[in-house]
Structure 1
Amino acid sequence: MARRKDIDGSMSVPTFYGKELRWKREAAGMSLEAFLEGSFYGKTYLSDIERGERRMPIDLARHADRVLNTDGFFERHCEDVRKARRAGHAAYFERVLEAEKHATAIEEWCPMLFPGLLQTPAYARAVVLAGLPLSANAEVEQKVSARMARADLFEADHRTPEYWVILHESLILDPLLAARDMAEQLDRVVELVERRRIVSQVLPRKCVAHPFMTGSAMIMTFPDAPPLFYTEALHSGDTIDDIALVQEYRRSYDRLRAVALSPEASLAMIKTSAEDYRNGKQPGRLE
């Protein structure tokens, strides 16, 4: 029988917390399956928490305290784990960073910016400087590097989630960067589509009234946990895990997808626009 790998609780707050959870569970004589009875989560999810690779959601922390009789220990300390931030990202984004690595599907609607998972370094740098113009160069580069690292999700040695993005036409036609850099940003989207890593659609400007007129959207689904919805403002983000509410957002996203261009027409438009920028031309609007 293979020897189980131990957990080094000194590595980080999450690994310390996960090791304590495993110790308490095994001391109670409970298997992963027995521990999870009455919860919405799968044993892979719990195993990831015990290894420090996922954060404990508050409802599962309360479940742990109840079945292990730990007097509120896991609920009290799960916030400490969530605060264990990764360099280069805001605290409110931590849950998304973790969740997207385990998602089977990610769907995004981006009315204002190309999403972080698709940004080139030049685009990410421009976004960071626009929001934090007084940042030191080292801080800017740390944020850019952190954003680029997220894109490892699309590489061959990772289990790639099904990623579907809807982009507003204005992102393509109103350049945030110089023409050559805009061509590079659009080429990045084309490359991921043609490698069958993502599906992209464009919402035309002429579609004035549509679902999600009031903000961005990111919906993540998982094989072993309830779905999550994330939306972001200038200096804050909100992650929603209420199943009924996520379903409402899911319906709105599906309606938005229905009024966007087809993936094939969208790819053709993005390709043409990239070529226009390369040739020093302003891409034309959709009729």
Structure 2
Amino acid sequence: MKKLTIATRQSPLALWQANFVKDHLMALYPNLEVNLLTMVTRGDKILDTPLAKIGGKGLFVKELEQALFDGTADIAVHSLKDVPMVLPDGLMLGAYLARHTPTDAFVSNKYQHINDLPQGAIVGTSSLRRECQIRRHRPDLDIRSLRGNVGTRLAKLDDGEYDGIILATSGLQRLGLNARIRHELDTNISLPAVGQGALAIECRHHDTDTLALLAPLNDDNTRLCVLAERAMNHALEGGCQVPIAGFATLAENSLHMEGRVGTPDGQTLLIAKSSVVLQDNQAQNEQNAIQLGKDIATNLKNQGATNILTALYA
């Protein structure tokens, strides 16, 4: 291939992610011309309604996927936590890049820690997952919906609409906004979203030339972790707009995973944990990772996750 086009949203964070991939590809293939096709998605246009009420984070990828079908783009770069569990026929995730910091970040102009917030303090988040877990940790807080790109959310904080807001640590770091982070939330307080901190590249399923170009970008460790996380979410039939958390880590030749399902009010929070020992065979490890995610989902279902999620979707 002599030319490659990347479909991306126009937000500063999405452009950073697309350029991050572009730079890696151009370093690998100096003779490859890489261009960006910027787009505005439905999720970018509707900012006055919580995502859970308008279809979830899949609204951020549909226009990009159409560009892949149309042939106007060869790949689309996504924050993996925004990618639905089931992709359209003909498309696939062709590469998982090395994961960046997966945690949630507490951002405030007045308080150093979420525990420092006074009773009734207003906290903004766009995520039912974060809302559920923060209410569990601090039921006295006033949690309110906060939509928009990172800059928009920070501006609302700076205007005094919120006492604190919760954002993905990786997004702030990618934009050079580390100084805004008061602290990273411990995963015991807020377990990350499935795929959080990881970038994935979507492409056409049978586009072998593109898949060959992307192969060096794959990170095997990240791939194992996110395969387990996404397998859990898929088995729960969960989308991005419900209070589901899933986080897998590698340690001492084992893949460990924790999954959570809760109610938005934080009154109920189901937790399941398990692990699997890794082998020398990457393909077998991937199958084991997927099974680990499924086992976590089964555990959560046995605790009552299905009833919680059914009620939310209804």
TM-score category by the smaller chain? Answer: under 0.3
| Greater share of residues in helix | 1
Q: Which has the larger radius of gyration?
A: 1
Q: TM-score of the superposition, structure 2-length normalised? A: 0.25
Q: TM-score of the superposition, structure 1-length normalised? A: 0.26
Higher RCO, Cα 8 Å, sep 6+? 2
| Greater share of residues in strand | 2
